[in-house]
Structure formats: structure tokens, C-alpha cells
Amino acid sequence: MVVVEVLPISIKTQRRRFDLFGTLQGFSYKYNDIVVISSKFVSMSEGSIVKLSKVKVRKKAKELATKNHMDAKLAELVLRESEYVMRTGVPGFLLAIRDGTIAPNAGIDKSNVPRGYAILYPRDPFETAEKLKLKFLAELGIRVGVVIADSRLMPTRIGTTGVAIACAGFEPVEDQRGRRDLFGNVLRVTFKAVADALATMGVAVMGESDESTPAAVVRGANVIWSDKKFSWKDMAVEPLQDIYLRGNLELVSEK
């Protein structure tokens, strides 16, 4: 029987840029561990924090802010950080997509940062995950997988789960088409979202408030190990092809 453990990593609160790999040390990692790290912790390490008083607001952001009853400076940041936004939002929030991930306000958050600031998504989370994976191998001599995770709301559900915004070291999605279920039926459309499942495990022990647990280790998970470099396209469908979103998006910028 396979036993999977999820082990929290408590770290002192960081208030400025820091060395991400160094801060994660002090835990007894093992070969084939999956290290799940909060996206906000990654953003903090690279200084992806904005002082709201310095944000210059454009006309489109003002219009969206008025329509959705939200801070115009936050709306401006959402526009800057997104490829797509929903045509209609809800009071206080815009639903936006960046690099294949949908999130309220493009993942921009004003919690767990000093008052008057906002924290953005990491600049290049897949590159960060890849570098961390290689650092564990070079410095500690062990193979680990890395997941950079954020919390997310599921449609019609109360509360948050986890989503992987990047990963390294293993296949983030497993194609199960062609396999048979318990009754012999051939699976025709099934893919297993491995990275998202691991992100949810990590988020479950990290918490959302003052736990000071920005990372966790999933030990014993069954993954397909890989040295490939991944991108969001390995984990997501194009937004305009998504069954929930098609017909409800507006292109706001090109990257």
C-alpha cells in the first residue's frame, strides 16, 4: 500500500527580497520528495510587490473599477498582469487569466503584505521551479519535484483549494486516454491533473492566514519523473477553447 505524507515547512515571516532556496533549508528532504511552495512566497522572494500609491491608473482601469466597485489602482494592476479578463465581474473582483491560470484579480493580493502594498504573481514561475529543482540536485544531491501553488476558488463551491501555477521535475498532467476503468470501459477524454492535485495537498497544510507555513513536502506521491522544461501550455487549454469561459472573455493585452 502506498502511503503519502504531507509535511508542512514553517518559515519565519519575510518582509523583503530573499534567497528562496536558502530559506527552504533546515528541513530533512528525501529523494523523490515533491516540494510545494506558495506562489506569494515566491513573489516575495523576488520582490514582486507594488506600492499602490505609485500606480498610475488608465482610463480603462477606471471604467472597470467603477463598474465592479473596486479600487482603481488594483484594477490597473489586473489589466497589466492579464491576457484576458471576464467581460463582467463581481463587486470587488475581476476574473482574469494569466499564463493559463484563471484567478480573481489575476492572483494579485493585498493580504500577507504590508498595508498599502499588493503582491503579484511570480514573474516567471516555471523558470523559478526549474532552477529550484536543479539547485536541490546540485547542492543536496537529491531529485525533487517542485510545485509553485496558489489557492483558488472553485465554481459554486465555498472555500479555497490549490492550483499549480508552475512545476518542474515531473509530468504535470498524465494522459489516461486508452486505459480502462473498473468496468472495462475505455477512457476517451480523461487527463489526470497531477500538479494541481499536489498543489491542493500542499495548500491544505499551508493555510491561508498567519500560519507562517509557505511550503510543504508531499512524500510518497506517484508521479512520472521528467527532466523536460515545462510551461503553462503543458497544464492548460487555451482560454478561448475552455468549456466554462468560451464566449465570456475579452483580450486585454498581448505578451
pLDDT in tens, 37-54: 999 999 999 999 999 999
Note the Cα 37 to chain centre separation in Å. Answer: 9
Q: Binning pLDDT at 50, 70 and 90, where does residue 185 land?
A: confident
Nearest of 1, 17, 9, 13 to residue 34 by alpha carbon:
9
Question: Does the structure show a pLDDT above 80 at 101?
Answer: yes
Q: How far apart are the first and last CA of the chain?
A: 46
Q: Binning pLDDT at 50, 70 and 90, where does residue 249 land?
A: low
What is the arithmetic mean of pLDDT over 96-115? 85
Question: Does the structure show a pLDDT above 80 at 13?
Answer: no
DSSP letter string over 143-202? -EEEEEEEEEEPTT-SSEEEEEEEEESB-SEEE-TT-B-TTSPBPSS-EEEHHHHHHHHH
Q: Binning pLDDT at 50, 70 and 90, where does residue 140 land?
A: very high
User: What pLDDT is attached to residue 254?
Assistant: 43
Q: Binning pLDDT at 50, 70 and 90, where does residue 92 land?
A: confident
pLDDT above 70: percentage of residues in the chain: 93
User: What pLDDT is attached to residue 200?
Assistant: 95
Choose between 251 and 15: higher pLDDT.
15
Instruction: Identify residue 158 by its one-letter amino acid code.
Output: I
The whole-angstrom separation of Cα 205 and Cα 90 is: 29
Sign of the CA dihedral running 195, 148, 53, 153: positive
**Full set of structural domains in the chain with CATH:** 1-48+122-224 (3.30.1330.100), 49-121+238-255 (3.90.1660.10)
Q: What is the pTM for the complete model shown?
A: 0.88
Note the Cα 180 to chain centre separation in Å. Answer: 31
DSSP letter string over 19-68? -HHHHTTTS---TTEEEEEEHHHHHHHHT-EEEGGGPPPPHHHHHHHHHH
Q: How many residues does this entry show for the chain?
A: 255
The whole-angstrom separation of Cα 40 and Cα 42 is: 5
User: What pLDDT is attached to residue 191?
Assistant: 79
